[in-house]
Amino acid sequence: MRWIVITCVLVSLQALGGEIDPPSEFLFKASHTLVAGEIVGSTAEGTIELRVRETLHGPDPSARILKVRTSPAWLAGIDRGDSAVVGYTRYRRSATRPGSLELRPDGPVVLVSAGLEPALFRDTPALRALLMRARDVANLRSRGYLEEVTKGLESTDPQLQNYFAAELALRESLQVALNAGDRALLARFVGDKAAHPSARAMLLAAAAAHPEHFGARWPQDAAAAVVAETGVVASDAPLSPLPNLVRVAFDVLDRADRKIALAPAERWLASSHTGLAEAALLAIRRSAPEREREVAMSALANDQTKPAVRKLVRDHLRRLRIMQNAIERERADDARR
């Protein structure tokens, strides 16, 4: 089985303070269903066909061959005959009755949330045991569960890395129990280029947002390393989860007012992602303001700069001129006083 994971739930420092459920809670909401079965087919439009063998949560499907939709991008890793656990819902928020749910007219969809991108797993005894333990509220607050979470980050399955990263990022009861050894493990994980980018982004954002639990220094160092070492070409690949990781890293550095070397920031002007190029320009302003215009002009002179980034740089230079003119007028006014 070849599994791919695409980032659909963008991680941010602000989002971690919102009403986002840990995946172990989200899967078991009353409006959600969790089933296990055999993949019998899929379509290019994004429909999975699953022969349901067991219902783990929620009502039994009305048909033994369940048809459930997801993004076609995720189906590249689905093979006929695979055993899978799938979380899905038949409901959506009502557009006319706030706080209410209504049946989806287009049928059930695979769940997507933090740590569940999507809620589609290999069906293994270890996964079954994990999901069943998720119903034990006392266990989810224990030191034993924290140890399970940190060990789970070392899984070779990227889906499980992402699941456990979200559990830690969204459970303060686990964060307050972190010790020095745990923090060192998390720093290594966030810095591991082979680890799932979404899991790294989730933990980096959580660590920066809660230095009292995770530690104050390593998240900034990790963010600087992400900006300096993540491949720009790899980030430009279709459906890559790397841009979100880099975006989080720039955000962490900006909020900490952390200065970085010019070269690591400048390299992101070669990206096709305008958000990363803009974050790079702002990082350059913070770290080397005397070089800001020079770097921007160099990007415009480079025929490899992507059209959307080129437009962004022109707008950035225009705003820079306006800002500099305002500063010069203020200085002139001060000199006349």
pLDDT digits (tens, 9 = 90+) for 27-59: 999 999 999 999 999 888 889 999 999 999 999
The H or E element containing residue 283 is: helix 274-287
- What are the Cα distances from residue 215, in Å, to 69, 119, 204, 221, 250? 41, 31, 11, 11, 18
**Tokens 């740089």 appear where?**
313
Residues in the chain: 337
Q: Residue 152 burial by CB count (10 A; 0-12/13-18/19+): exposed, middle or buried?
A: buried
Q: Can you tell me whether residue 203 is helix, strand or coil?
A: helix
- What the block records as the tokens of 144 is 């034993």
Mean residue pLDDT of the chain comes to: 90
The fraction of the chain above a pLDDT of 70, given in percent, is 94
Residues 271-296 have pLDDT tens digits of 999 999 999 999 999 999 999 999 99
Is beta strand 32-42 parallel, antiparallel or unpaired with respect to 109-110? unpaired
Answer yes or no: is pLDDT of 16 > 80.
Answer: no
Q: Are 115 and 202 in contact (CB under 8 A)?
A: yes
pLDDT over 90 at 8, yes or no? no
pLDDT exceeds 50 at position 196: yes
- What's the mean pLDDT in 315-326? 89
Q: Are strands 109-110 and 83-89 parallel, antiparallel or unpaired?
A: antiparallel
